[in-house]
Structure 1
Amino acid sequence: MPITFVRIDDRVIHGQTVTPWATQRPCDAILVISDKVAADDLRKKVLKAAAGHLKLGVYTVQQGVAALDKARASKHNFFVISDSVEEFAALKRAGGDFGKVLNVGNLSATRPGTKNLGNAVCINDEDVKCFDYLAEQGVDLQFQMIPDDGVRTWSTLKAKYQSL
C-alpha cells in the first residue's frame, strides 16, 4: 500500500518523524491532514522546511479524503500525519481511508483537561471519545513514540486514563 505510515503527533513533522520512522518505512512524501495546520500559513512554511527532501502536501480534513484516494492509487509511498486524534476521527467520519493502523506519538499537555499517560501522551475526555470511535471502526491504535519503543495499546492506556 502506498500509505506506509499513519501518525498522530501534535508537532506534526520533526526529527522523530523524518529520521527514525522514515528509515523504517518507505517514504517519498508526507500528507499532513489538519484543518488547523491548513489554515496557518506560517506553520505550513515551517513544516515544508522540516520535511527536507520529502514532498509535502497540507490538506484540510475535507480535502484529505481525496488526497488519501490519490495517495492509495499512486506509485509513491506516503506518510499521513495529523496533529490530533480529532482530525483523524473527522477524516474517518468523512469517508477517509487511511488504513487500519494509526500510530500515536507526542500529544502534549497544553490542552485543557489532559491527563498524562506517560511517554509524552497526554489526553483529555474528547480524545478518549475519538480514540474509542476509531477503535470501533477497526483501527488498531498503536502508541509508540519511536520505532525502538514498545507499542502500547489503546485498551491499556484507556484503563490508565480512567484510573487517574
Structure 2
Amino acid sequence: MAVSFLRIDDRLIHGQMAASWIGSSPCDGIVVVDDDAAQNEVQKKVLLSILPSVKTWVFSIAEATEKLPKVIESQKRYYVVARNAQALSHLAAAVPQLRQAIGKINVGPLSKREDAIPVNKGQSVTPEEIPAFNHLAGLGFSIEFRLLPDTAAVSWEAAAKKLAG
C-alpha cells in the first residue's frame, strides 16, 4: 500500500503529527495537498523543513491530482495530508483509486472557527465542511476524528449526529 495514512489537519505538518503518528506508523514521505501552501513560497519552505529526515512535497489540488496516481502505485509508504475536507473531497473525486489505496481518513486538528461546531476535543466542523465530509463518506471512506493514535476516535457518523442536533 503506497498511501499508508490519509489525514485532514488544518496545521498540515507539525510536531504532534511527527512525534505521534509518524512514530507509530512510519512513512517514506509526506504529500501535502493545499492550494494556499503550494502558492506561498514561505509557507512551502517551512513545511518542507519541518521534518528534514522525511521527504516532503507540497502540491496544489491540481498538481496532486496529476501526481497521486504515481504515489499510489509506488512501493514506498506515503502520508497524504490536506488542510480541509473540501480539498480532500476534490482530490478523492479526481483520483478514484485513492479510495482503493486506503479506506480510512484520519481527521486531526480542526481549530475553532466562526460558525464551527465542536465534534471532539480540538476538532470543530463548519457548515461548509459538512457536504465534503458527506461526500467522502459516500465514496466509502471511513472517517475518524482522532488527534493522537492513543486517544479515542469519534466517527463521522457520530460527528454528523452532533452537528445535526
TM over 0.5, shorter chain: yes
CA contact (8 A) 2:104 2:142 kept: yes
Q: Could you say what secondary structure the match of 2:111 adopts?
A: coil
Which residue of 147, 150, 153 maps to 1:148? 150
Instruction: Structure 2: give runs of 5+ residues left out of the alignment.
Output: none
Distance 1:89 1:122 in 2: 17
Matched, 1:107 2:114: no
Residues 64-109 of structure 1, C-alpha deviations (whole Å, 9 max, x = no match): 1232211122222111001100100111222254321110010012
Residues 25-70 of structure 1, C-alpha deviations (whole Å, 9 max, x = no match): 1201100011121111111111112122100111111111232211
Aligned letter for 1:68?
L
CA RMSD of aligned residues (A): 1.3
CA contact (8 A) 2:69 2:95 kept: no
Distance 1:16 1:142 in 2: 17
Instruction: Structure 1: give runs of 5+ residues left out of the alignment.
Output: none
Aligned positions of 1:126-141 closer than 5 A: 126-141=128-143
Aligned letter for 1:9?
D
1:77 corresponds to: 77
TM-score with structure 1 setting the length: 0.93
Q: 1:96 to 1:30 in 2, by over 3 A?
A: farther
Q: Which runs of 4+ in 1 moved over 3 A?
A: none
Aligned positions of 1:1-164 closer than 5 A: 1-98=1-98, 99-110=102-113, 112-163=114-165
Residues 92-132 of structure 1, C-alpha deviations (whole Å, 9 max, x = no match): 2222543211100100123x321122311111111111100
Matched length: 162
Aligned letter for 1:137?
L
**Percent identity for Structure 1 against Structure 2:** 28
